[in-house]
Amino acid sequence: MVASFFDRILDLEWAMFVQVQSDRQAPCQTAPDNFLNIRGSLFETWTPHLLQAYWADLEEATALGRNLLAEKYARMEELIPPLSDDPAIDFIVAIESRWQAEILRQFPMLYQRCCRSTAETGDGREFAIYLRAELETYGYETRQLYFVNVKNAERQGRNLGIEALQALVRRSGYADLAQAEQHFQAQCCGSQPQRGQCQCN
């Protein structure tokens, strides 16, 4: 059942993603395999109930002619007003921003390659704005289940950002994060890595 929702979510997201028109076209709009690997790695950290709730959001949005990914980009670029003022969003963004800081500390090369900057960029691309925009597109039930997933992970001392990155590097052929970090460190040879090479939407 989980695999079924997993695949359905990726199919629906991809169908929405390729229709997004933004001032900054995401590289993955022409690279479906990259999109599926990156988003799939994220969803591996979600619970079955969270996956089911998000799939229901996507199904409902499709039936209503809404494109949740287009709305996310519109929020990032401040083209539309906020879609939710749920206080859970602030909690989630704070926790996940700390997780991103931990990724930077442990795996700086992978962070540069794969993670959105947590620093203010002034154009809506930074991690906190991206995450907030995505959370606003979720339905209430999905957002609450997401909140619980993050809260439980924090209590357990887990970092879901690291877990998603681990899933991504394994999908990319590396044994683990340490091997991927070592590979990119050697490849970089002291030069500044290009940010966002495995970011997607």
Mean pLDDT within 72-98: 95
Please determine, for residue 12, whether its predicted confidence score (pLDDT) is greater than 80.
Answer: yes
Residue with tokens 């899933």, as numbered in its chain: 167
pLDDT over 60 (residue 57): yes
- At residue 119, the pLDDT reads 66
Per residue in 128-177, pLDDT (tens digit) is 999 999 999 999 999 999 999 999 999 999 999 999 999 999 999 999 99
Task: Please tell me the predicted confidence (pLDDT) of residue 25.
Answer: 61
Q: Is residue 198 part of a domain?
A: no
Sign of CA dihedral 10, 12, 14, 20: negative
- Residue 28 — very low, low, confident or very high, per pLDDT cuts 50/70/90? low
Mean pLDDT value across the chain? 87
197 in any annotated domain: no
Residue 118 lies in a domain: yes
Q: Provide the residue range defining the domain that includes 121.
A: 2-188
Q: Is residue 195 part of a domain?
A: no
High-pLDDT (> 90) share of the chain, %? 69
Domain-embedded: residue 196: no
What is the average per-residue pLDDT within 66-88? 95
Domain count, the chain: 1
Judge whether 165 lies within some domain: yes
The verdict on pTM exceeding 0.85 is yes
Flag whether 170 is in a domain.
yes
pLDDT computed for residue 117 by the predictor: 78
**pLDDT value at residue 193:** 44
Tell me which of 18-22, 41-45, 60-64, 192-196 is least confident.
Answer: 192-196
pLDDT of residue 107 exceeding 70, the answer is: yes
Tokens 């700390």 -> residue: 98
Within-domain flag for 199: no
